[in-house]
Amino acid sequence: MPNILEAGKEYKTKRGKRARIYAVDGVGETCAHGAILEEDGWEETTWTIGGIFWPGHTMSQDINFSATTEPSTACVEPSSTPRTGEGE
């Protein structure tokens, strides 16, 4: 059975970042919607149903199916560094 993303599950990317999947019924080739946890918080993105970030390329944002994790219910505090344009 091929690896496919499932809504409501949490995975890790090939670079070891946490990735949440919100929905897998979007339109087009990158039909899986979710987010990757970056240093300043969750950044939304899309993948193919097979976990590929950019079809036709190998990217560090691709899902590493061998490193799945249990979903976390805890909020993650963003870093204290303001984003560009904030706090000026």
> At residue 87, does pLDDT exceed 90?
no
> At residue 81, does pLDDT exceed 90?
no
Residues 6+ apart with CB under 8 A from 62: 13, 14, 47, 51, 52, 53
Q: Tell me how many domains the chain contains.
A: 1
Identify whether 80 is part of a domain: no
Predicted confidence at residue 79, as pLDDT, reads 52
> At residue 52, does pLDDT exceed 90?
yes
In contact, 47 and 63? CB cutoff 8 Å: yes
pLDDT tens digit sequence for 26-51: 999 999 999 999 999 999 999 999 99
> At residue 83, does pLDDT exceed 60?
no
pLDDT tens digit sequence for 60-79: 999 998 875 665 555 555 55
Identify whether 29 is part of a domain: yes
Residue with tokens 């949440």: 20
From 42, 41, 43, select the one nearest 79 (Cα to Cα). Answer: 41
Predicted confidence at residue 57, as pLDDT, reads 86
* Whole-prediction pTM: 0.74
Structural domain boundaries, residue 44 = 10-67
Residues 6+ apart with CB under 8 A from 20: 9, 10, 34, 35, 37, 42, 71
